[in-house]
Chains A and B, each alone.
Chain A
Amino acid sequence: MPDNANPTCQQLLADLSTYVDGEASTAVCAALEQHLAHCENCRVVVDTLRKTISLYQQLPQPDLPPGARDRLIARLEIEQI
């Protein structure tokens, strides 16, 4: 795992999610990138986290079951909404 005793690794972990979303500040990005150039463990975490995000974004999205919409509209009628 990243070196827990190393404050730079700890800092990196705290900002990781915003960093991979491109929402970290310029200063934070620069500090992280400088750290990643020298910390192999943190680089692996960042790369695999990015890949994880890419993979779950490809998971199929469930659809409404057939008839669910009509059953809801019928219930609105019954409940006089």
Chain B
Amino acid sequence: MKELSDQELVARLQRGDKSACTVCIDRYGTAVYRLALRLLKNEADAEDVMQETFLNAFKAIGSFEGRSSLKTWLYRIAYNNAMMRLRQKDPTFISIDETWQQEDGVTAVPQQLFDWCCLPEPELTSEEARQKLATAVTSLPPALKGVFLLREFEGLSTQETADALEISTDLVKTRLYRARLHLRENLADYFAAAHPSGA
């Protein structure tokens, strides 16, 4: 059963095959949970979103027409559920997508030019540096984070990410660049502070 293609899996789900639900959860459950956890920063909330994602998906599977892949569709549901939860938790959380939309024509500019590439590998991969980077990923604005997580951690293509988030491929590219630059700036600041006289 686990060797089923996604197309066959969808067909079985649409026929009401309960064992197909388990296959789908085993195939995509971890990825959906991981996305939700990184968006929400809370394990209990992430598990709730994972549950809601599969429940919503299985209830709506009859209307799935295969215009995007099953994986992309699940990510879309998970992302929307996570965003809804963020809005419920914080009434001041307005659409960050709209906020960032205003800057779409602007290229962000790197500020920190400390050249830290030549630092010893143990320093680059120290626990503290990892923590700094992980925190910077967590602190990405949600609109950038959604693109970043799907492209960089979940391995979606630009087109798949655009489909999952229902945005244009150009916006995916812009947001990915901004997210990467944000992380680069964070690391550059961190390493520059550790080497005030240069690398």
Contact B43 A48 (CB under 8 A): no
Partner of B110, one of A1, A18, A73: A1
**Complex interface: stretch among B2-10, B94-102, B176-184:** B176-184
Cα distance A53–B152 in the bound complex, in angstroms: 9
- Report chain A residues within 8 Å CB of B38: 62
> Interface SS of chain B: helix, strand, loop or mixed?
helix
A17 partner, pick from B25, B54, B109, B176, beta carbons under 8 A: B176
Contact string against B for A residues 24-49, beta-carbon threshold 8 Å, 1 for contact and 0 otherwise: 00000000000000000100110111
User: With contacts A68-B33, A71-B51, A81-B58 known, is A49 near B109, CB below 8 A?
Assistant: no
Give the size of the chain A interface in residues (CB under 8 angstroms): 37
Q: What total count of A-B pairs have CB within 8 Å? A: 110
Collect the chain A residues with CB atoms within 8 Å of residue B152's CB.
53, 56-57
Chain B interface residue count, CB cutoff 8 Å, equals 47
Interface residue ranges, A against B (CB under 8 Å):
1-2, 4, 10, 13-14, 16-18, 41, 44-45, 47-49, 51-53, 55-59, 61-65, 68-69, 71-73, 75-76, 79, 81
